C-alpha cells in the first residue's frame, strides 16, 4: 500500500531523485506489514524538507490509513526526555550524576541485596545500576484477560520500585549493563524530590514547551489518546511472560488504544508525533537542550553487547544509544508499550532525523515473511539517514 507525502523539488533530475527516495522509503515501510505491522507512519526530516510515508491501516476494520499527524504512545523514547531533564538539573548544580539514590530517596531502594547507598544517578540513567526490572514482576501486563481486568488501574512509582526490590540485583552497581525500567522510575522520583514538581511538569516546562512540541503530552494516569490517532493493537502471548520464545502462541489482536499508562511512568509514559519526535532529537543533538558539558555526559557511551541482536554494535549513553550504520552511525532511543512501537534516529550532526511509528508492539510476521536478523526498522532508518540527500 503506497501513500507518500513529501516536499516539492524543482528540476526534473531533482524530482526524479526525490521520487526514488520516496519509493525506497515506501518499500521499507511496506515491508513492515509482512513483519506484522497493522500500520506504519514514517517521517524523515532533512535539510531539504520533510518526507512522510505511510503503509497499512490505522484502523484495520475500517481499512483507513494511519493519520498523517497521528499521536501515539512513545514508550521508552520517554527516557531520553527524562535523562535530558536530569542532566539540565545537573548543569544547574542542583544534583550530581555521582549522587547516590539514597541521597535523594533514603530507604527507597533496600532489600534482597539492593542498596540505594551504592547506586548513583549516572547508573540509573545508563542501566548499570544492577536493579531488577519491575516489569518482570507484573505478569498481568502480558496476559490478555489480566490486562483487560487491570487496564485502568493506577500504579505508583513507589509500588513499581517495591516490586523491583523483591528480587535480588542482577549484578553489583557498575559491574555490568542490563536494561531496567526501574532506574528511570527512580530518576523521575529524584526529579520530583529535587524540584518539588512532578517529572511530568519538569519535562513539560523544560523541554516540551520551550521547543514548541505542541502535540507532545504527558498523560500520567489519563487513559485517552488525543486525536487524531491510529487504533493501537496488541496480540498477547497465551502464556504471557512464561511463553516459550520458540513457540509464543499469540492470541488475536485486540484494541488497546485506551488504558491507564501509569505503569510506564518516567520510563515510558509520553505521547508524541513523528514531527515532534524529530524536533526533539535534532534539538538535543544540536545542543539546544543541554549545555555542552551535559550533552557530552549524555553521549559518553558504553558498549552494550546485550543490544546486538537488535542493533549490532550498539552503545548506550545516558538515555540515548549510538547505533552504527552505513554512513557511520546515529543517535537513537526507541520505545515499546502496549499498542505502539516507536523507532527513530538522528545523524551525529543533528541535520537529519527519522521517526517511525507502528500501531502495535507485538509483531507476528506473516508465515512467508523473511526472518529478520535485527530490529525490523534497521534498514528503513539506515536509508532515511544515509540515503541520498
pLDDT, tens digit, for every residue of 255-288?
Answer: 999 999 999 999 999 999 999 999 999 999 999 9
**Entry field: residues in the chain:** 389
Higher per-residue confidence, 10 vs 97:
97
**Mean pLDDT, to the nearest integer, of 26-38?**
97
**Mean pLDDT, to the nearest integer, of 236-261?**
84
**Domains located in the chain, CATH noted:** 73-352 (3.40.710.10)
- Give CA–CA dist 328/165, Å, rounded: 40
- Give CA–CA dist 254/238, Å, rounded: 13
Q: Band of the pLDDT at 12, cuts 50, 70, 90?
A: very low
Please tell me whether the peptide bond between 58 and the residue prior to it is cis, using omega within 30 degrees of 0. no
CB 294 within 8 A of CB 85: no
pLDDT, tens digit, for every residue of 306-349?
Answer: 999 999 999 999 999 999 999 999 999 999 999 999 999 999 99
- The answer to whether residue 10 scores a pLDDT higher than 50 is no
Grid coordinates representing 121?
544517578
- Give CA–CA dist 155/105, Å, rounded: 19
| Per-residue pLDDT, 161 | 98
**Mean pLDDT, to the nearest integer, of 100-107?**
98
Q: What angle do CA 109, 110, 116 make, to 5 degrees?
A: 50
Higher per-residue confidence, 8 vs 85:
85
Amino acid at each position: 500500500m503506497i501513500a507518500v507525502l513529501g516536499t516539492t523539488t524543482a528540476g526534473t533530475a531533482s524530482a526524479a531523485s526525490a521520487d526514488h527516495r520516496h519509493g525506497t522509503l515506501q518499500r521499507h515501510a511496506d515491508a513492515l506489514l509482512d513483519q506484522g505491522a497493522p500500520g506504519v507512519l514514517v517521517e524523515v526530516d532533512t535539510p531539504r524538507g520533510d518526507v512522510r510515508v505511510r503503509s497499512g491501516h490505522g484502523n484495520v476494520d475500517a481499512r483507513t490509513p494511519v493519520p498523517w499527524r497521528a499521536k501515539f504512545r512513545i514508550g521508552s523514547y520517554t527516557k531520553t526526555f527524562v535523562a535530558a531533564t536530569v542532566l539540565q538539573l545537573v548543569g544547574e548544580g542542583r544534583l550530581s550524576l555521582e549522587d547516590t539514590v539514597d541521597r535523594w530517596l533514603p530507604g527507597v531502594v533496600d532489600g534482597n541485596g539492593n542498596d540505594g547507598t551504592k547506586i548513583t544517578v549516572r547508573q540509573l540513567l545508563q542501566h548499570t545500576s544492577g536493579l531488577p526490572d519491575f516489569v518482570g514482576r507484573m505478569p498481568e501486563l502480558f496476559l490478555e484477560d489480566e490486562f483487560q481486568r487491570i487496564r485502568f488501574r493506577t500504579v505508583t512509582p513507589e509500588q513499581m520500585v517495591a516490586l523491583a526490590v523483591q528480587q535480588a540485583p542482577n549484578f553489583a552497581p557498575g559491574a555490568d549493563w542490563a536494561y531496567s525500567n526501574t532506574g528511570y522510575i527512580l530518576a523521575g522520583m529524584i526529579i520530583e524530590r529535587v524540584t518539588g514538581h512532578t517529572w511530568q511538569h519538569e519535562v513539560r516546562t523544560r523541554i516540551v514547551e520551550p521547543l514548541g512540541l505542541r502535540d507532545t503530552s504527558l498523560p500520567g494516569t489519563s487513559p485517552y489518546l488525543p486525536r487524531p490517532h491510529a487504533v493501537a493493537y496488541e496480540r498477547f502471548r497465551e502464556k504471557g511472560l512464561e511463553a516459550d520464545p520458540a513457540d509464543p502462541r499469540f492470541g488475536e489482536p485486540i484494541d488497546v488504544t485506551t488504558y491507564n499508562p501509569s505503569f510506564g511512568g518516567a520510563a515510558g509514559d509520553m505521547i508524541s508525533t513523528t514531527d515532534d519526535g524529530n524536533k526533539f532529537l535534532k534539538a538535543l543533538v544540536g545542543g539546544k537542550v543541554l549545555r555542552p558539558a551535559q550533552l557530552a555526559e549524555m553521549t559518553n557511551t558504553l558498549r552494550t553487547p546485550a543490544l546486538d541482536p537488535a542493533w549490532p554494535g550498539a552503545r548506550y549513553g545516558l538515555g540515548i544509544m549510538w547505533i552504527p550504520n552505513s554512513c557511520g552511525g546515529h543517535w537513537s532511543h526507541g520505545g515499546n508499550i502496549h499498542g505502539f512501537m516507536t523507532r527513530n534516529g538522528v545523524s551525529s550532526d543533528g541535520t537529519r532525523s527519522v521517526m517511525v511509528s507502528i500501531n502495535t508492539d507485538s509483531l507476528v510476521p506473516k508465515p512467508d515473511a523473511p526472518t529478520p536478523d535485527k530490529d525490523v526498522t534497521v534498514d528503513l532508518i539506515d536509508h532515511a539517514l544515509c540515503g541520498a540527500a
